[in-house]
Amino acid sequence: GAVVSQHPSWVICKSGTSVKIECRSLDFQATTMFWYRQFPKQSLMLMATSNEGSKATYEQGVEKDKFLINHASLTLSTLTVTSAHPEDSSFYICSATGTSGRAGKGGTQYFGPGTRLLVL
């Protein structure tokens, strides 16, 4: 239980295009989803917190117009990187927490497998 998936697992795009990454909770309802980015050999950096049905809360320094987050249902959140540039190349990871079962205990976050983005 408490499985989170991400799609795609990797994507290569041209500079200036937009890329959408999906995060799904497969066996629980995710009331809250979190989006992180991770640079090589570094720790995870929280970008934003997304609650189902409401606007995402962005961390300081993260541009909300560049990283659009939508959490339209209890099992799906999307991150859209708009007008991507090479410096946006990174490993993007989502996590989810729910209100029941294993994922609901203490708000424990379960992570997706990540999406590697390369902007050329």
Please tell me the count of residues contacting other proteins according to CB under 8 A.
28
Cβ–Cβ < 8 Å for 97, 108: yes
Edge-to-edge order in the sheet of strand 19-25: 4-7, 19-25, 76-81, 67-73
Q: Which residue has the tokens 């499985």?
A: 3
Cβ proximity to other proteins, 7 vs 82, nearer residue:
7
| Torsion sign (Cα): 4, 85, 45, 69 | negative
Work out whether 98 is an interface residue with other proteins (CB under 8 A): no
Work out whether 90 is an interface residue with other proteins (CB under 8 A): no
Cβ proximity to other proteins, 16 vs 61, nearer residue:
61
Enumerate binding residues for other proteins (CB under 8 A): 4, 6, 32, 34, 41-46, 49, 59-60, 91, 93, 95, 97, 105-114, 116
